Amino acid sequence: MKTYRQLLEFGKSRLQEQEIENFQLDAWLLMEYVCQISRTWYFLHEEEQPGEDEEKQYIALIRKRGEHIPLQQLTHEAYFYGMKFYVDENVLAPRPDTEILVEQVLEKLPVDQEIEILDLCTGSGCILLSILENRKEARGTGTDLSEKALAVAERNGRELGIKARWIHSDLFEKIQGQYHAIVSNPPYIRTDVIQGLMEEVRLYEPYMALDGHEDGLYFYRKIIAQAGAYLKPQGLLAFEIGYDQGEAVSSLMKEQGYRQVQVVKDLAGLDRVVTGRKNQEERYV
């Protein structure tokens, strides 16, 4: 039997050997998850021994992480906008950069008004649920082509106590009515780029949530061309984008008559979000 300290050192060493980028952090997070301990507790008890079952589970998870299975798929936990979400192999794990999309939508939506929000390609539901948690008067609908992803989103809404409507739909296929805001973090990686992604993404994240087809803009074109029919006057359209897609996506929106089109950068100074408002003039397809 190893002590907590020896077990953690084993985890760090094993993950470093397998070239896991954040090997020290991941080794600790897995220990925290398996043993349900805090850092303070660990430093006070590091020479004690965990239970046999805990040691076996920790070693098994370290081996899986060493195979580049994403940490969030091992713990089924991901934190986003101050909330804990369930994730599995059917959805992309929420990324911190995506919080900028939530912030922009909250900043641009009216406060203390009943509003309707549509989230296309909802995945885990983290974007929609984060918006709804911060706009109690809002109502939201999330759609996804993957029924398994929708099951994850529905579970997150239930566990967080946030009410939303979930629809199995190919973008607008089964959508009716108009919304004050349409948000989306669609697949936007070029097909030829996917094979060069890190193993955690390329091998274990859902391909359909990554593939933006030949130029990465396929879903932006479809959504922008159709969204006008589903937006109320002055309605907001907001996307997460790839770091090199700001000019292309903003141009697509302007071509379709959207106004107040804005590209917002992330903390690294890279283009991350594009927003625009529906023009009163009906130029939409």
Residue 85, phi then psi, degrees to nearest 5 = -115, 145
Bind-site residues for substrate? 185-188
Q: Please state the pTM of the whole predicted model.
A: 0.92
Above 50 in pLDDT, residue 257? Answer: yes
pLDDT of the residue at 180: 97
Q: What is the mean pLDDT of residues 28-32?
A: 98
Above 70 in pLDDT, residue 280? Answer: no
Above 70 in pLDDT, residue 159? Answer: yes
Above 60 in pLDDT, residue 282? Answer: no
Alpha-helical (H) ranges within 122-239 are 126-134, 147-160, 191-194, 199-202, 218-227
Q: How far apart are CA 88 and CA 252, in angstroms?
A: 33
- Convert the pLDDT of each residue in 53-93 to its tens digit: 999 999 999 999 999 999 999 999 999 999 999 999 999 99
Q: Which CATH code is given to the segment(s) 88-277?
A: 3.40.50.150
- Convert the pLDDT of each residue in 180-204 to its tens digit: 999 999 999 999 888 888 888 888 8
pLDDT of the residue at 196: 87
Task: For residue 271, list its beta bridge partners.
Answer: 265
- Convert the pLDDT of each residue in 3-28 to its tens digit: 999 999 999 999 999 999 999 999 99
Bind-site residues? 144, 185-188
pLDDT of the residue at 211: 84
- Convert the pLDDT of each residue in 201-224 to its tens digit: 888 889 889 988 989 999 999 999
pLDDT of the residue at 192: 87
pLDDT of the residue at 207: 86
Q: How far apart are CA 131 and CA 117, in angstroms?
A: 9
Burial of residue 151 (CB within 10 Å: 0-12, 13-18, 19+) is middle
- Convert the pLDDT of each residue in 112-155 to its tens digit: 899 999 999 999 999 999 999 999 999 999 999 999 999 999 99
Above 80 in pLDDT, residue 285? Answer: no
Q: Where are the domains of the chain?
A: 4-67, 88-277
pLDDT of the residue at 112: 85
Q: What is the mean pLDDT of residues 162-176?
A: 98
Contact 11, 35 (CB under 8 A): no
Bind-site residues for S-adenosyl-L-methionine? 144, 185
Percent of the chain at pLDDT above 90? 89
pLDDT of the residue at 39: 96
Q: What is the mean pLDDT of residues 215-235?
A: 96
Contact 170, 187 (CB under 8 A): no
Above 80 in pLDDT, residue 174? Answer: yes
